[in-house]
Structure 1
Amino acid sequence: MTKRHITYLACTTALCGALLGATPASAAHHTHVVHPGESIQKAVDAARPGETVIVLAGTYHESVKVTTPGITLRGVGPRTVLTPAAGKSTKKASSTRKAVKSCAEQGNGICVVGAKNHPLDGVTVAAMTVTGFSRIGVMAVGADHLSVDSVNAVKNGQWGIAEERSAHSVYRNNVARDNGDAGLFLANSITAEKGATDTGGTVIEHNFLKGNRIGVTVRRLRNLTVTDNTVTGNCAGVFVVGDENKPKAGAVTVADNRVVRNNKYCEKTAKLAFLQGSGIVLTGTEDTLVTGNLVADNSGKSPLSGGVVIFKSFVGVTSDKNKITDNELSGNAPADLVNQETAEHGNAFQHNTCKKSMPAGLC
């Protein structure tokens, strides 16, 4: 056995414990170990459902596509680094090929892909850095019960970590930093116009989101929790977004997050005004709960600036029956609480600690 190949072994309880953390004695299973200079993709392709691919510390110049259910792709921490292959131009490839594009040709680092009517179940991506990709660090399409844990998604061109057409996901302990758009982006569909879908309880928790255009974007989804995250130094902190499609986005809980100093300036786009100084923004949503958050020192002059903002949608969709309660707000401008809807839409502001609101009287 030499170092320069992918090792296949039936791992003992002690070895699994060393590489993967505590593992029950009955859980011995096949593990594939990838050393620097070897192909992660070959190991992933060789793995069967329920097996693990361990990627040792080093820099790996490749993209990886996962299509096998139940496998775990795990590095050993931030020193396991995925970055684009040298000399590859994803833009050139995407403009010259008409066939279905590979993960690399799409400009993505790791792609977790299920079939249209058959979601890919039980995949875990963990403990590695994914950086420098022209589009997305980690992208999931058609996944079910996906776990993304302790991934550093850094300086990717569009989103750090993203999903569409997926449910029951858990995003935990990740760092999404200095990505071109959202650090974490979750949507029902990126391209198709359709009503909000039920995620079945997707959880975004204990993540650190800094230096992105938006820390977390939740678009056209229902039944999802954003909790205990630190969101700072972005142009905007947390966006929960709906549109004119039915059912409406909502039934989202944004709780116990620290959303502070999201004052980076981002220029306007074709769909959105310039961003600066937005803490938590709800637009086109219903029945969303914003509670227990620390929202401080988010300051700007964008139409969406402020601590917690219920924004009247650019496409004319109202925000209805949202509840903003028990938050601690200070130093946000133009105000700690901003409600652009009229009273008839039933948005409630209760028991918040704050000094200034628009209109007056919400604190």
Structure 2
Amino acid sequence: MTKRQIAYLACTAAVVASGVAAAASSADWQTVHRVNRGESIQKAVNAAKPGDIISVSPGTYHESVSITVSGVTLRGAGAESTVIVPDKASTDSTCAKAGNGICVTGTQSKPVEDVTVRSLTLRGFKKNGLFATGTDRLRVEKVTSEKNGQWGIGQERSVRGEFRHDTVQANGDAGLFLANTVDAEEGAVDSKAVISDNRLLGNRIGVTVRRLRNVRVDSNEATGNCTAMFLVGDENKPRPGALRVTDNYVHANNKFCAKTARLPFLQGSGIILTGIEDSLVADNRVQDNVGKAPMSGGIVLAKNFKGALNQRNDIRDNVVLRNGTADLASQDKGKGNTFRGNRCAASVPAGMC
């Protein structure tokens, strides 16, 4: 072996060793904060730094949890075994005072980034199981949120959220609620959110997407709700739209919900679009959604209460059967909406099947 070869091998070995050391050092930066039954989840969250994991053991925890640090993961031992419920004796945090279970909170100028909440149950909170505002790339995975007063999982003023393999059940309003903002009239946000592989069971509305653009809603199952999926827009600009609603199983959403100040009574609605543009609704199975409400039916392009029209939406290749008052319904006079390749029996107006 020449001197040059020996020198090259020595240099290579030093570089590899340096890389291994750097990797080990990087791994050392990640701390796992373990929370055992009877201990405080919030205390562990307060001690966490970006990249840390809060690992919560099986048990029932009576508290609300506020996350304001980027890059942390809150991980239960499974939705069946790690359960967070309200502490009725204490409202010593903003999150608890608001009636929420978990709050992930940033601002538009300084969003909380890359937070993950996984593998736990949120149950019985006065307002929302989980509520997020001012976040970027929030991930909520394998979470059950049930029997909460308003939303199971809600998010506003946020982008690139991912909601996968969650179960939202028996919540007072929407199981999953994503909006540009909940307290003001503003144009749509380019959200880039993903709502995928979730179970939406027995809520007032399974999933609501309000005043957003570029949201993907796919491969979810919705049943037992008053309305399965409600895609809501208005006259503000940018207009809501560019949504992709595909490969969902939407069946028997026949629960009755009384009217509110904003909406008529709901029952028997599969997928509703109101004031939405340039969106795709395709390859969904929508069946046995039956009611006599103004927006009852399988896939409904509904009248918007502020007069915003559905425009240039593509409704195609869906199986839409045994829905009442119709499988497909177009109630407004928006231009450019197309219905093609759908398997259905009845439409209003006639001729769309």
TM-score, structure 1 length as denominator? 0.88
Q: Indicate which of 203, 211, 219 corresponds to 1:228.
A: 219
Where structure 1 has 5 or more consecutive residues not aligned to the other structure, the ranges are 1-23, 94-100
Matched, 1:299 2:290: yes
Residue in structure 1 matched with residue 264 of structure 2 by the alignment: 273
Structure 1 residue 247, shift from structure 2 partner: 1.1
- Of the three residues 247, 260, 263, the one matched with 2:251 is 260
Structure 1 residue 127, shift from structure 2 partner:
0.2
Tell me by how many angstroms 1:275 deviates: 0.2
Structure with higher strand content: 1
Secondary structure, counterpart of 2:45 in structure 1: helix
**Where in structure 2 are there 5+ consecutive unaligned residues?**
1-22
* Deviation of 1:27 (Å): 4.7
- Name which of structure 1's ranges 42-51 and 333-342 shifts more when overlaid on structure 2: 333-342
Q: Give 1:128-139 correspondences, 5 Å limit.
A: 128-139=120-131
For 2:337, which of 312, 324, 347 is the aligned residue?
Answer: 347
Q: Deviations over 1:117-137 (max 9, x none)?
A: 111100000000000000000
Tell me what 1:314 maps to: 305
Counterpart Cα distance in 2 of 1:146 and 1:180: 23
Give the secondary-structure state (helix, strand or coil) at the position aligned to 1:324.
Answer: strand
**Whole-Å Cα distance in 2 between the matches of residues 277 and 86 of structure 1?**
36
Instruction: Give the aligned partner of residue 11 of structure 1.
Output: none
Deviation at 1:55, TM superposition (A): 0.4
Distance in 2 between residues matched to 1:120 and 1:310, nearest whole Å: 36
Q: Whose radius of gyration is greater, 1 or 2?
A: 2
- CA deviation after TM superposition for structure 1 residue 339, in Å: 0.5
Deviation track 1:176-215 (CA, whole Å, cap 9, x = no partner) reads: 000000000000000011000101x210000001000000
Distance 1:259 1:300 in 2: 15
For 1:247 and 1:263, locate their aligned partners in 2 and report how far apart those are by CA, in whole Å.
33
Deviation of the 1:246 alpha carbon: 1.0
The runs of at least 4 consecutive aligned structure 1 residues that moved more than 4 Å come to 24-28
Deviation at 1:70, TM superposition (A): 0.2
Counterpart-to-counterpart distance in 1, 2:245 and 2:135:
23
CA distance in 2, matches of 1:296, 1:213: 18
Identical columns (%): 54
Aligned CA-pair RMSD:
1.4
Cα distance between partner residues in 1 of 2:300 and 2:243: 15
1:308 and 1:86 map into 2 onto residues whose CA distance is 42
Which residue is equivalent to 1:43?
Answer: 44
Question: Distance between the aligned counterparts of 1:297 and 1:177, measured in 2?
Answer: 20
Residue type of the partner of 1:346?
G
Match for 2:86 among 84, 87, 96? 84
**SS of 2:228 mapped into structure 1:** strand
Q: Which residue of 2 aligns with 1:161?
A: 153
**In the alignment, which residue of structure 2 is the partner of 1:115?**
107
Q: Deviations over 1:84-103 (max 9, x none)?
A: 00334x6xx9xxxxxxx700
What is residue 352 of structure 2 aligned with on the other side?
Answer: 362
